[in-house]
């Protein structure tokens, strides 16, 4: 078990550019979550998938954000027309649906929008 991985670990972009992040969950996990964490704050929920279905989206997820999980394996989070306020750490977590469900986090992608 290699854990949750995310790529890239760091991304610097200019305002107005599009960026895409990837998350590879723990292989047997059927749920995948995206969170956003700004400096000095706790992570905030963005969206989650069960298999390939996107089941919930936060109101934090504006129209510029889109997430996919084709085939129920890895997931991508795309931000279009980035703004300076998008600068944050984007965390991915995965879990196996059930009463004892526990989320395991990846190392995150730190985004800086100039």
Q: Enumerate binding residues for other proteins (CB under 8 A).
A: 31, 33, 35, 40-45, 48, 55-56, 91, 93, 95, 97-99, 101-108
Closer of 47 and 82 to other proteins (Cβ): 47
Q: Which is nearer to other proteins, 21 or 35 (CB)?
A: 35
What is the spatial distance between Cα 44 and Cα 22, in angstroms, rounded to a whole number? 18
Beta bridge partners of 53: 50
Q: Is the peptide bond before 23 cis (omega within 30 degrees of 0)?
A: no
* CB 106 to other proteins: min, Å: 6
For strand 104-105 and strand 65-68, is the pairing parallel, antiparallel, or unpaired?
unpaired
| Residue 7 to residue 20: CA distance in whole angstroms | 9
**Which CB, 70 or 98, lies closer to other proteins?**
98
User: Of 72 and 107, which has the nearer Cβ to other proteins?
Assistant: 107
Question: Smallest gap, in angstroms, from Cβ of residue 18 to other proteins?
Answer: 26
Tokens of 67: 């997430």
């Amino acid at each position: 078990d290699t854990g949750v991985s995310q790529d890239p670990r760091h991304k610097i972009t200019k305002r107005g550019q599009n960026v895409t992040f990837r998350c590879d969950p723990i292989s047997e996990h059927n749920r995948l979550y995206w969170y956003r964490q700004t400096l000095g704050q706790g992570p905030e929920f963005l969206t989650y998938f069960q298999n390939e279905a996107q089941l919930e989206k936060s109101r934090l997820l504006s129209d510029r954000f889109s997430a996919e999980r084709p085939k129920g394996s890895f997931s991508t989070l795309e931000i279009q027309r980035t703004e300076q306020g998008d600068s944050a750490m984007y965390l991915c977590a995965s879990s196996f649906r059930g009463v004892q469900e526990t989320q395991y986090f990846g190392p995150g992608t730190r985004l800086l929008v100039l």
